[in-house]
């Protein structure tokens, strides 16, 4: 059920949950400083309580509500990328409830790029928002995905549906070089070239603490089995979804998609294809292997999500 900013303010102020559109995926929002409301988020999603939430803010000034000292690096990075698909991990202020951070002494923060959501946060203050899906399912990128997971009456704030389709980059900026804990459409190269700070990916660190706590869980996994294929087969199996990016002859049919090199569009639709495969009862999803070198900034994140979905 689509609701206005006014109605969403009322829901949040009452300590309840509302789904919010962002440029990445839909979020499931609660008042970050209301412990009972934040707890409802975990219940609604069936999410493990040690998987911390991202706090969404509408202006850099709100960062001071969440961390004691905003570093120069934080200022430079957020000025370059906010509002946008970059989450930063900083030392948390004592007043941020433990339920938000799963007991960690750090907090993840981002400013989403969506006018209605920013207008809501302006009125309510910081909101926690994990992706608006049941835990273990693909993130919700369409209002219909939220209706499927939480029912048709679940409130969804009005506004443009997510354009990117893949969750934000999570960057730990507590210690240099900074570490990417979850890849997204903002890449290490983009951060380095725009801000001059050195950035490494968590895979390069042997220390498992450097991984995003949530990466332990089986995210992004449809029920159908996901496998990678090297080329476009001449005969397609029934009861299967196919995602191609290079097919010359256009193959068509239910559950057959060809992106002709448009990886931004593929990212926009990926989770919907995963969900549609499940709704259609397909047992297999075949994805043509993505190319290695590509200028598209979304490609790295896309590969990460596809490899997670296809891992056993
Ligand atoms: O694009 C997005 O980030 C979306 C939209 C709604 O903003 N949100 C999202 O939230 O993807 P969620 O909860 O599905 O994923 C948050 C990720 C998890 O992997 C979590 O472990 C990590 O961020 N995270 C949260 N707080 C953290 C912290 N203090 N330290 C390290 N990782 C953290
Ligand atoms: Mg999620």
| Contact criterion met (CB below 8 Å) for 264 and 298 | yes
pLDDT one-digit tens code per residue, 88-104 = 999 999 999 999 999 99
Show the ligand 1 pocket: residues with CB < 6 angstroms: 22, 24-25, 27, 51-54, 87, 89, 101, 104, 106-108, 112, 129-131, 167-168, 170, 181-182, 212-215
Distance 11 CA to ligand 1 centre (A): 23
Domains of the chain: 2-211 (3.90.870.10), 225-310 (no CATH)
Distance 247 CA to ligand 2 centre (A): 31
Q: Give, for 310, the enclosing helix (H) or strand (E).
A: helix 298-310
Nearest to 52 by CA among 222, 263, 214, 200: 214
Classify residue 136 as left (phi > 0), alpha (psi -120 to 50) or beta.
left
Question: What length does the chain have?
Answer: 312
| Contact criterion met (CB below 8 Å) for 296 and 190 | no
Q: Residue 216: its pLDDT value, please?
A: 59
Nearest to 185 by CA among 291, 73, 296, 77: 296
**C-alpha distances in angstroms, 107 versus 66, 68, 285?**
7, 11, 36
Percent of all residues in the chain with a pLDDT value above 70, rounded to a whole number: 92
Classify residue 231 as left (phi > 0), alpha (psi -120 to 50) or beta.
beta
Nearest to 51 by CA among 222, 221, 220, 215: 215
**What angle, 0 to 180 degrees and rounded to 10, lies between the N-to-C axes of helices 263-279 and 143-150?**
30
The number of the ligand nearest the C-alpha atom of 137 reads 2
Q: 29 is written with which tokens? A: 């929002």
Q: Give, for 3, the enclosing helix (H) or strand (E).
A: strand 2-3
Q: Residue 206: its pLDDT value, please?
A: 45
Ligand 1 atom nearest to CA at 108: 26
Residue ranges in the chain assigned as alpha helix (H): 5-13, 35-45, 72-81, 98-101, 115-124, 143-150, 188-195, 263-279, 298-310
Q: Above 80 in pLDDT, residue 13? A: yes
Give bridge partners of residue 286 from the DSSP assignment: 227, 242
Nearest to 225 by CA among 214, 240, 238: 240
Q: Residue 251: its pLDDT value, please?
A: 74
Distance 221 CA to ligand 2 centre (A): 11
| Contact criterion met (CB below 8 Å) for 175 and 197 | no
> Which residues lie at CB < 5 A from ion ligand 2?
131
Nearest to 235 by CA among 253, 212, 217: 253
Distance 56 CA to ligand 1 centre (A): 10
Mean pLDDT of the chain: 92
Q: Residue 217: its pLDDT value, please?
A: 57
Q: Residue 207: its pLDDT value, please?
A: 47
Nearest to 117 by CA among 9, 39, 215: 9
Of all protein residues, the one whose alpha carbon is nearest to atom 17 of ligand 1 is 214
SS3 125: coil
Q: Above 80 in pLDDT, residue 27? A: yes
Residue ranges in 47-93 assigned as alpha helix (H): 72-81
How many C-beta atoms lie closer than 10 Å to residue 164's C-beta? Answer: 21
Q: Above 50 in pLDDT, residue 208? A: no
pLDDT one-digit tens code per residue, 106-117 = 999 999 999 999
Q: CA-based Rg of the chain, rounded to a whole angstrom?
A: 19
Neighbouring residues of 284: CB distance < 8 A, sequence distance ≥ 6: 224, 225, 227, 237, 239, 240, 241
The number of the ligand nearest the C-alpha atom of 53 reads 1
């Amino acid at each position: 059920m689509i609701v206005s900013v006014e109605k969403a303010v009322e829901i949040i102020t009452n300590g309840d949950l509302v789904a919010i559109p962002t440029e990445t995926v839909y979020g499931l929002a609660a008042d970050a400083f209301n412990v009972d409301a934040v707890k409802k988020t975990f219940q609604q999603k069936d999410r493990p309580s040690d998987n911390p939430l991202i706090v969404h803010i509408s202006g850099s000034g709100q960062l001071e509500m969440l961390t004691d000292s905003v570093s120069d690096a934080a200022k430079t990075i957020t000025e370059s990328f906010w509002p946008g698909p970059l989450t930063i991990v900083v030392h948390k202020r004592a007043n941020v409830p433990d339920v938000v951070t799963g007991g960690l002494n750090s907090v993840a923060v981002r400013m989403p790029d969506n006018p209605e959501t920013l207008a809501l946060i302006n009125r309510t203050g910081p909101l926690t928002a994990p992706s608006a899906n049941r835990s273990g399912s693909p993130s919700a990128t369409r209002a219909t995905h939220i209706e499927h997971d939480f029912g048709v009456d679940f409130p969804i704030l009005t506004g443009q549906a997510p354009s990117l389709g893949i969750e934000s980059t999570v960057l730990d900026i507590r210690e240099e070089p900074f570490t990417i804990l979850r890849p997204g459409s903002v890449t290490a190269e983009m951060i380095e070239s725009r801000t001059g700070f050195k950035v490494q990916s968590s895979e390069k660190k042997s220390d498992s603490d450097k991984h995003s706590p949530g990466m332990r869980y089986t995210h992004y996994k449809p029920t159908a089995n996901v496998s990678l294929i090297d080329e476009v087969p001449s005969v397609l199996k029934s009861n299967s979804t196919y995602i191609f990016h290079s097919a010359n002859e256009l193959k068509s049919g239910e559950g057959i998609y060809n992106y002709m090199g448009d990886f931004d569009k593929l990212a926009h639709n990926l989770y919907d294809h995963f969900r549609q495969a499940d709704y259609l009862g397909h047992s297999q999803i075949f994805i043509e292997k993505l190319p290695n070198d590509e200028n598209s900034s979304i490609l790295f994140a896309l590969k990460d999500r596809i490899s997670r979905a296809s891992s056993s």
